[in-house]
Amino acid sequence: MLLLRRLGVPAFGLAAAVVGASVACAQTMPLPERIAQCGSCHGEDGNSRVADVPSLAGQPAFFVLNQLFLMREGVRRVEAMTPIVKELTDGELDALSQHFSKLEPKASDEPVDTALVPRGAELGQKLRCASCHLPTLAGQDQMPRLARQRIDYLFTTMKALRDNQRAGADTQMSSILAGLSDADLQALAHYSTSR
Amino acid sequence: MRFTSTRSRRLAIAMIIAAGTTVPAAAQQTGMSPLDLSNPAASRQDANLRSFPTPPTVTPLERLPVGKLKLPAGFKAEVWSLGHPGARTMVMGDKGTLFMGSRLIGRVYAITTKDGKREPKVLLQGLTQPNGLAFRNGALYVFAINKVFRYNNIEDKLDNPGDPVELTDKFNLPDTIHHNWKYVDFGPDGKLYVQTGANCNICEINPGIHGQIRRYNADGSGMEIIARGVRNTVGFDWHPATKELWFTDNGRDWAGNDGPQDELNRVAKGMEGANFGFPYCHANGIPDPDIKRPNPCAGVVLPAALTGPHSAGLGIKFYTGAMFPKTYQNVAFIARRGSWNREKKFGYDVIVARTQANGTATLEPFMTGFLDDTKNEFAGRPTYVLPLKDGSLLVSDEQNGAIYRITYAAPQGKRN
């Protein structure tokens, strides 16, 4: 079992009929309770006040659904999320995604270093962030909202993408951020959140 | 598990932080490219030039766009299987199991046939883009990004594949992830062919590592470089008569709507190791606008055919079956997944390439109908093709997680 996990290979008996598995929609917990569970880390209003925990408010519904799906699938591994996502049905993934997409994103409680913003804006232009994440950086479809996201989370995530450590995203992000310094990523984080 | 107590919440946060900061120093590996070097002023930021999502969920039968498909007279398309999101590469086992690789969803499927009905199941999951599959002597070879596994006698243990033989270190493939989801296949020489794509859109790659097609012994030993300067090929096959290698290659992005066009290439006999131009020379001799050097196309093997701007030609298979008309003997079918970095969408079809002895090829449409030109919308994305023993042709559709089967029956009064 341990060996299998290390290799990124499913445990015994996981091979399951695909069609059958995906039609199950029964909820394992009432939705309000589930939302409260998410809110204990991600913020009751979907705006996180906890270091390195992302805000979900105003994220594109498909983005949240896709990430939850990939975490449940074992593609994207976030230890704290693993036991929770394992319980989620397709119906819950959908309901949670819809819920968080409709909440209002609020500015992060971290201080924005305004001196970094122009450098971030310049890099953002050069890297064409707006083509996928939109000029408002509100995100669309599989591409997340960056505006008003937590600065520490943006930095940690971009660092992981740059260093080929983050699964569950298009590999383009790894190539786009390749070669950037940590200072560049900080500038991008401060710029993005302030959009 | 509920995070109701402060203690468990703190624990959860600590775990998240730990997960986010365990970046080994080795992450700054060799072969890391500098920034994408395309000139942002030359291609504006535009939400019409972005990639499209692939649903991780099942598309039900009634929503499959098979009714839209158009084929030459006498050909017919039907749904062969469905319910396997992210459908891409297809290889057939000796005992009739179709194995299917994927990208983001990280699954390998096994599709069996019982009483004429397809039964898909998730064979492996949680892998990083296991697009590369090959089958030989009862074993399934699975190439994910940075991982290589071999499952011996796989068709006897589809319910419980067990521990694979890990070959990752033997193949020693680069650990960069962009353009490094794999396409692999056994050649007529019995060697296992695998590519290492450019780890960027456009940049100076390390030519000793990236932009290659390589071949290995099946155990990962004896590596040889078969082609260089190849940006991103994820499909190749060997001509049935000449045994020469033909491969599709995706051209660079962010240099305009019209290209440089994607390519169909040939590695002619005696030309193993030849240079196909990336990053300095694209398509049939277009110097790169951003990465310049004198005589960029000198010594570069130009393509056999241009396969269209941003059209994303992926899977290619030569046809030797008995079902289709004789004019299809030894032609290559190419699945074009369709453009993203182009305002007016292009591709989303299967084309036929008629290869010539002189190394050129002519192209013609075969399966169309997924792309609505008027609305600039697509209904499906063909990724790979696979001829079956009976001469019919399978086409995988990544967008809808389905496989279509194309058959031929001579129209009345016409002989095959």
In this structure, what CATH number is given to the domain that contains residue B164?
Answer: 2.120.10.30
The total number of structural domains that make up chain A: 2
- Does A160 fall in a domain? yes
Chain A residue with minimum CA distance to B121? A17
Q: Give me the residues paired with residue B336 across strands.
A: B313, B349
Q: pLDDT tens across A71-94, in order?
A: 999 999 999 999 999 999 999 999
**Does A17 have pLDDT greater than 80?**
no
Q: How many residues does chain B have?
A: 416
Residue B259 is predicted with a pLDDT of 80
Query: Who has greater pLDDT, A4 or B398?
Result: B398
CATH number at residue A22: 1.10.760.10
From residue A73, give the alpha-carbon distance in Å to each of A82, A104, B5, B124, B127: 10, 29, 27, 10, 9
Count of positions (residues) in chain A: 195
**In a domain? residue B280:** yes
Q: Which amino acid is at B413?
A: G
For residue B140, pLDDT beyond 70 = yes
Structural domain contains residue A12: no
Q: Tell me, what's the pLDDT at A29?
A: 86
In this prediction, residue B176 carries a pLDDT of: 87
Taking the C-alpha atoms of residue A155 and residue B20, their distance in angstroms, rounded to an integer, is: 10
In a domain, A27, yes or no: yes
Q: Give B412's pLDDT tier (boundaries 50, 70, 90).
A: confident
Is the CB of A140 inside 8 Å of chain B's CB atoms? yes
Cβ of A52 and B107 within 8 Å? no
Q: Where are the alpha helices (H) located in B135-244, listed in sequence order?
A: 168-171
B58 → closest Cβ in A18, A41, A180: A18
Report CB contact under 8 Å: A37, B3. Answer: yes
**Of A171 and B17, which is predicted with more confidence?**
A171
A118 shares contact with chain B (CB less than 8 Å)? no
* pLDDT above 90 for B183: yes
pLDDT score recorded for residue B146: 85
Distance CA B174, CA B197 (A): 10
Closest Cα in chain B, distance from residue A114 (Å): 24
A85: which chain B residues are within 8 Å (Cβ-Cβ)?
A: none
- List the end-to-end C-alpha distance of chain A, in Å, as a whole number: 46
Q: Is the pLDDT of residue B113 over 50?
A: yes
Q: Is A91 on the interface with B (CB under 8 A)?
A: no
pLDDT surpasses 90 at B54: yes
Query: Is A6 a domain residue?
Result: no
Measure Cα distances from B229 to B211, B214, B269, B297, B301 in Å: 5, 12, 18, 11, 10
State the Cα–Cα distance between residues B239 and B267, nearest whole angstrom: 11
Average model confidence (pLDDT) for chain B? 90
Question: Which uninterrupted H or E stretch holds B79?
Answer: strand B75-82
pLDDT tens-digit readout, B330-388? 999 999 999 999 999 999 999 999 999 999 999 999 999 999 999 999 999 999 999 99
Q: What is the pLDDT of residue A27?
A: 60
Q: Is A9 domain-assigned?
A: no
Task: Output the six-digit token pair for B28.
Answer: 């700054």
Question: What H or E segment, with its residue span, contains residue B13?
Answer: helix B6-21
Q: Which chain A residue's Cα is nearest to B57?
A: A22
Q: When comparing pLDDT for A16 and B251, which is higher?
A: B251
pLDDT greater at residue A5 or residue A179: A179
**Dist. CA B228–CA B226, nearest whole Å:** 7
Mean pLDDT of all residues in B158-171:
97
Residue type, B347: G
Residues of A with Cβ-Cβ distance to B104 under 8 angstroms: 70, 75, 168, 170
User: What is the mean predicted confidence (pLDDT) over A90-115?
Assistant: 97
pLDDT of A44 above 70: yes
Residue B132 lies in a domain: yes
Asked whether B3 and A40 are in contact (CB, 8 A), the reply is: yes
Q: Predicted confidence band at A98 (pLDDT cuts at 50, 70, 90)?
A: very high
Q: Is B1 a residue whose pLDDT tops 50?
A: no
Residues A65 and A121 in one domain: no
Mean pLDDT of the B241-263 span: 94
**Is A112 domain-assigned?**
no
Mean pLDDT along residues A99-121: 97
Which one of B23, B47, B109 has the shortest CB-CB distance to A131? Answer: B47
CA-to-CA distance for A40 and A48, rounded, in angstroms?
9
Q: Is residue B102 part of a domain?
A: yes
- pLDDT for B4: 37
> Highest mean pLDDT: which of A123-132, B32-41, B397-406?
B397-406
Note the pLDDT of residue A167.
85
- Both tokens of B266, joined, read 């040939």
Residue A21 has pLDDT above 70, yes or no: no
The two structure tokens encoding residue B300? 């570069």
| pLDDT for residue B242 | 97
Beta carbons of A15 and B121 less than 8 Å apart: yes
Strand order in the sheet with B98-100: B90-92, B98-100, B108-114, B117-124
Are A165 and B27 in contact by the 8 Å Cβ rule? The answer is yes
Partner B contacted by A27 (CB < 8 A): no
In a domain, A1, yes or no: no
Does residue A125 sit in the same domain as residue A149? yes
Q: Are residues A97 and A121 in the same domain?
A: no
Query: What average pLDDT does this structure show over B110-126?
Result: 96
Indicate if A123 and A154 belong to the same structural domain: yes
Q: Which of A11-15, A57-61, B300-304 has the lowest mean pLDDT?
A: A11-15
Report the residue of chain B nearest A84, measured CA to CA.
B1
**In chain A, whose CA is at the least distance from the CA of B20?**
A156
pTM: 0.89
CA–chain centroid gap for B179, Å, is 10
Please count the structural domains in chain B.
1
Q: For residue B363, what are the domain limits?
A: 53-408
pLDDT bracket for residue B69 (50, 70, 90): very high
What confidence category does residue A1 fall into, taking pLDDT thresholds of 50, 70 and 90? very low
Q: How many helices and strands (H and E) does chain B possess?
A: 2, 29
| Percentage helix, strand, coil for chain A under 3-state DSSP, each rounded to 5 | 50, 0, 50
Of A40, A51, A65, nearest to B9 by CB-CB distance is A40
> Do A35 and A92 belong to one domain?
yes
Residue B195 covered by a domain: yes
For strands B305-306 and B286-287, give the pairing: unpaired
Show which of residues 174-193 on chain A sit within 8 Å of chain B, judged by CB atoms: 174-176, 178-180
User: Mean pLDDT over residues B292-319, rounded?
Assistant: 97
| Residue A142 within a domain | yes
Q: Do A93 and A25 lie in a common domain? A: yes
Q: B4–A8: do the CB atoms touch at under 8 Å? A: no
In this structure, is residue B263 part of a structural domain?
yes
The pLDDT tens digits for B193-212 are 999 999 999 999 999 999 99
Q: Which domain holds residue A62?
A: 18-101
Q: Cβ A73–B53 below 8 Å, yes or no?
A: no
Domain boundary residue among A76, A101, A126?
A101
Residue B118 has pLDDT above 60, yes or no: yes
Q: What is the Cα gyration radius of chain A?
A: 17
CA atoms within 13 Å, Cβ hemisphere of B344: 7
Query: B242 in a domain, yes or no?
Result: yes
Residue B416 included in any domain: no
Phi then psi for residue B377, to 5 deg, are: -130, 150
Of the three residues A49, A75, A101, the one that is the final residue of a domain is A101
pLDDT of res. B359:
94
B148 contacts on A by Cβ (under 8 Å): none
Contact assignment for A19 to B120 by CB distance below 8 Å:
yes
Name which residue leads in pLDDT, B152 or B49: B152
Residue at which a domain ends, from A66, A101, A136: A101
What's residue A170's pLDDT? 87
- Regarding whether A152 and A79 lie in a shared domain, the answer is no
